Amino acid sequence: MPGWSRYLTPAAAHWGLGLVCLGAGGQSGHIGTVRERVLSSHAVVLVTAGRGRCNGRAVGPPALFHLPAGVPHTYGPDRHGWSEQWALYDGPAAGAYAELGYLPAEVTPLADAASAALLFTRLRRALDRPDPETASAAALHELITALGRPRVTHPVLVALARNSALPLAVTARELSLSAERLRSIVRHQTGHGPKEYVQRLRINRAKELLAETDLTVVAISRRTGFNDPGYFTRQFTRRTGVTPSAFRTQQQRG
């Protein structure tokens, strides 16, 4: 793959998109090692062929690694070279993605090199559009969300969705997991603890029932796992900004 690179200088309005692309590129072969560099923005690097190291960790294809802004790093191929694609990015969404676990600190092996490379191809095409700042921001959001999490839903999350109206202890017992192990898996998979994850599932289901049925608020609260209708109303209002009744009025037709 011949070397290529594009750089952008987004305007203030583009930063409002939450994520901006500051540059992207790719190269193959005997590439020099980056030694103790510190970037003012974040970077993501995809290695599709060859081997090397990143911050002392082995990198084998296909693999992805993120380089946070302001943190010294070193990486590069072994003497045989490698093929890499990279992107520089920044913006408030980067912090949110990191908190949610989409920007892992370790080198991440990938199952499908072709799908990962396609995402970088889309980013490159976005940089060639008449509106590269906006198009590349959308491509970066897709790249981070697609590669930052496994595509296969973890069985624990499937069980939590199925049992969302039941206590967490029921799911832990069903899966033969300790409460600590359940917390660890859910936080790794979602960036949240199991209680927060289930609460959002419950609120989402409550929204569906409010919009699509004539069930009372009390009935909906119990059906979604809230035994106290008052607590349900407070949680719903805090998380959505409107009461359950107001949400129903906004969403129902006719």
Span 179-208, pLDDT tens digits: 999 999 998 888 789 999 999 999 999 999
Q: Per-residue pLDDT averaged across 149-170, rounded? A: 86
Peptide bond into 62 cis (omega under 30): yes
Cβ–Cβ under 8 Å, residues 221 and 245:
no
So what's the pLDDT on residue 189? Answer: 83
68 burial class (0-12, 13-18, 19+ CB within 10 angstroms)?
middle
Q: Per-residue pLDDT averaged across 116-131, rounded? A: 95
Does 112 or 51 have the greater pLDDT score?
51
Residue 150 above 70 pLDDT? no
Cα angle 52-55-60, degrees, rounded to a multiple of 5: 30
Q: Per-residue pLDDT averaged across 25-41, rounded? A: 93
Q: Which two tokens stand for residue 26?
A: 């790719």
Residue 1 above 60 pLDDT? no
CA gap 16, 218 in Å, rounded? 40
Q: How far is CA 172 from CA 84, 129, 185, 192, 203, in A?
A: 42, 49, 11, 16, 21
CA gap 113, 64 in Å, rounded? 10
So what's the pLDDT on residue 151? Answer: 56
